[in-house]
Amino acid sequence: MSSTIPAATADSALAGLSLEQKAGLTSGQDFWTTKEAPGVPSIMLTDGPHGVRKQRAGSDHMGIADSVPATCFPPAVALGSSFDPALLERVGVALGEEARAEGVGVLLGPGINIKRSPLCGRNFEYLSEDPLVSGMLGAALVRGLQSQGVGASLKHFAANNQETDRMRVSADIDERPLREIYLRGFQRVVEEAKPWTVMCSYNRLNGVYTSQNRWLLTSVLRDEWGFDGVVVSDWGAVVDRVAALRAGLDLAMPASNGRADAELVAAVRAGELDESVLDTGAARMIDLVRKASMGADASAGYDAAAHHALAREAAAASIVLLKNDGILPLGRSAPVAVIGELARTPRYQGAGSSLINPTKLESALDEIAALTGSRPAFAAGYSNDGSATAQQTADAVATASAAQTVLLFLGVPAEQESEGFDRDDIELPAAQVELLEAVLAANPRTVVVLSNGGVVRLSGFSERVPAIVEGWLLGQGGGGAIADVLYGVVSPSGRLAETIPVRLEDSPAYLDFPGEHGHVRYGEGLFVGYRWYDARAIDVSYPFGHGLSYTSFEYSDASASVDATGVTVRVGVTNTGSRDGAEVVQVYSEFPGSAVARAARQLSGFAKVMIAAGERREVEVRISRDELAYWDTRASRWMVESGACTLSIGASSRDIRSTVSVEIVGEEVRAPLTAESSIAEVLAHPVAGPLVMQALATGPAAEMMDDPSAMRMMAAAPIGRMIAMAGTVDPAQLEQLLAAANGHAAP
């Protein structure tokens, strides 16, 4: 990237540009850089989000084959389980340092789409099934990255929750789930962290391509949320360049051999596109280039060893100990056997556009040897593709039989999880399951260590093994992180950011995923992830928020106080074990008297705290008033209900340690009354109710009003039709009463 810093403002820079030059600023120069113009240098955008995937000069455009070395931090599937915004901000800072050292102006990430289905092939690149977790952690990554003068690109906006037909499918979502689940995390990141760019997704949203969805890109993103940066397309997402610019998409990537520029110029000259619309997009691009140029430093470098250490620390903080019957942590002198090719040849990242060429790569097998001082017995057990021969199985059984404890590494092969396609199931490879059964028969002291980008079914064996370590995809330091956790150098502190179901058939989107004939209906509505399982009391293998430690925590003295901006929850947490450890205190809200459908429990705040052995800390979790709101479809805005709010404090959505209740003073939203309003709605209105009751005090309607059964039967009937049948009030009088209630006239 050029080090030139445009001295002029966007307006004055624009004044000197031709129509063609302005159009050029809104499209790519090639696959990864923007076009330059007089006084406006080109900048580079490159893939993230868990590392800097910059292509070497002369490599293929997609760059899958070659990229410069960079630290491969844990992908989002792991970082989400850390529940640690401070850690993710540090990772963001490191990503920014590496991007700046490589002359990159914008790093394409983070991805914060919701994990709607465990089958989504790109779940490894997303943080959580919950918008609060996705939003808080996504904001932390953006803050860290942009603190180094490198822009983030928040993606994929919006509703990119599957890979099947991803470039055409319409995600058909009702208004409340769209706002409360699928847009809520984006809103938080935009408002709190102010990313320089937002990347639109490929798919359609309720029938309209997001690249040309003015409601999404302008009405919501800019007018409501105050976004003032650049909207960039996902690579190849633009269908109609003129419609996209008009909708608010500023930069179309990659280069189109001049086609996109020519379409814009022709539309302006034909009077089909106002030149001011092009000016707006070009001005935003000039501002982005200005910010990126100001952050550029040709002499910048980074400490690769320190970044590797951070990658290992982040990986260890993201590992989730799902089960432990006391077998872990291991003693360094305990004789163990390591079985599974994944221990020797780690799967540490997903496939596709986020593929990083690591600066260093640790294997669990090597790191266990380094930690214990001796190389453990090892058997591959299976091949990289998940298949196994009879000889591999026999060797593994013999190795297991001779050991005191077995560390069995299992996982999903890389070819089954990638950008571009969805998974067929949530099963481990059949050969690995057979290996597990054979090893367990030979040695029941078997610890299962998992490597996977999306959840896998554990219900077939979880009750029969003494310990399960969910290792996700952990980046280049994952091998050392696993060794650190297995041997107690680090006490595990990761928590599940997504539910592990007993069966795929139990998952919320099972009947609708991935849709048909170009449409996918989000039929589960608001009830995504744990909201679904908890509302329906469905058994799960491991619930959202779950994760064990090598110590234990006791909760006490919970309290909550309400003020004008939210609720502060305080709870005493004591480390009752003999080891230091970190606990994730989770607070879930419930509105038992809500007038609308809501989750039985909704995560509204959390805090990760390190507590020394024997120490008691008062943990404070702040819940903003916004987190207690729902999207009111009548008023098209967020609304907080008045009434009792139950706050459940615990270690997972199903491990509640304490409950407190607070009274919330909310807002009243009343839809205007009409003759089609129901009798119940009219009678519940503080003005209309008494007026109508008085008008119906005599005649046939009075008998109905005095009969509870009749009233219950007729409560949903439109008042205008019931009044007409009763004959005691004429339509004009009813309209006058309703107008008075709506505040338009006196009764």
> To the nearest whole percent, how much of the chain has pLDDT over 90?
84
234 is catalytic: yes
Read off the pLDDT band of 7 (50, 70, 90): very low
pLDDT of residue 142: 98
Please determine, for residue 681, whether its predicted confidence score (pLDDT) is greater than 70.
yes
Please give the DSSP secondary-structure letter assigned to residue 429.
P
pLDDT for 62 equals: 53
Residue 614's pLDDT is 98
Average pLDDT estimate for 558-564 = 97
Work out the percent of the chain whose per-residue pLDDT is above 70: 95
User: If you average pLDDT over residues 437-461, what whole number do you get?
Assistant: 97
Q: How far apart are CA 296 and CA 319, in angstroms?
A: 35
Q: How many CB atoms lie within 10 A of CB 42?
A: 20
pLDDT-based confidence at 11, cuts 50/70/90?
confident
pLDDT at 730: 75
Task: Collapse the DSSP code of 639 into the 3-class scheme (helix H, G, I; strand E, B; otherwise coil) and give the result.
Answer: strand
The answer to whether residue 2 scores a pLDDT higher than 70 is: no
Pairing mode, strands 151-157 and 106-108: parallel
Q: How far apart are the C-alpha atoms of 175 and 177, rounded to whole Å?
A: 6
SS3 403: coil
Contact by Cβ (8 Å): 81, 494: yes
- Reported as a pLDDT band with limits 50, 70 and 90, residue 734 is confident
147 pLDDT more than 80: yes
Which of the following is catalytic: 84, 234, 250, 279? 234
In the predicted model, what is the mean pLDDT of the chain? 94
> Can you list the pairs that 239-245 forms with residues at least 24 positions away whose Cβ atoms lie under 8 Å?
239/209, 239/211, 239/212, 240/212, 241/27, 242/267, 242/272, 242/273, 243/212, 244/211, 244/212, 245/26, 245/273, 245/277, 245/278, 245/281
Q: Which domains does the chain have, with CATH numbers?
A: 1-42+255-294 (no CATH), 304-536 (3.40.50.1700), 553-664 (2.60.40.10), 679-741 (no CATH)
- Tokens describing residue 26: 């809104």
Flag whether pLDDT at 322 surpasses 90: yes
Quick one: tokens of 296?
A: 């550029």
- What pLDDT was estimated at residue 3? 44
Q: How confident is the model at residue 629 (pLDDT cuts 50, 70, 90)?
A: very high
Q: Is the pLDDT reported for residue 727 higher than 70?
A: no
Q: Which one-letter amino acid corresponds to residue 214?
A: R
119 pLDDT more than 90 = yes
Q: Which residue has the higher pLDDT, 738 or 604?
A: 604
Q: Is the pLDDT of residue 59 over 70?
A: no
Alpha carbons 526 and 131: distance in angstroms, whole number: 11
Range of lowest pLDDT (411-420, 531-540, 603-612): 411-420
Does the structure show a pLDDT above 70 at 34? yes
pLDDT (average), residues 189-207? 98
Average pLDDT over residues 586-604: 96
First to last CA, the chain: 70
pLDDT tens-place string over residues 364-391: 999 999 999 999 999 999 999 989 999 9
Backbone angles phi, psi at 93, to 5 degrees: -60, -45
Give me 46's structure tokens: 């490159």
Q: What are phi and psi of 744, to 5 degrees?
A: -90, -25
Task: Taking residues 288-297, report their average pLDDT.
Answer: 96
String of DSSP letters for 256-322: -TTHHHHHHHHHHHTTSS-HHHHHHHHHHHHHHHHHHHHH--TT----HHHHHHHHHHHHHHH-EEE
pLDDT of 5 > 50? The answer is no
Mean pLDDT of 335-360: 95
Q: Of 119, 126, 136, 118, which is closest to residue 157 (Cα–Cα)? A: 126
β-bridge mates for residue 519, sequence order: 170, 516
Q: Which range, of 27-31, 61-65, 180-184, 742-746, averages the lowest pLDDT?
A: 61-65
pLDDT 10s digits, 456-509: 999 999 999 999 999 999 999 999 999 999 999 999 999 999 999 999 999 999
User: What is the radius of gyration, based on Cα positions, of the chain?
Assistant: 29
Give the confidence band of 74 by pLDDT, cuts at 50, 70, 90: very high
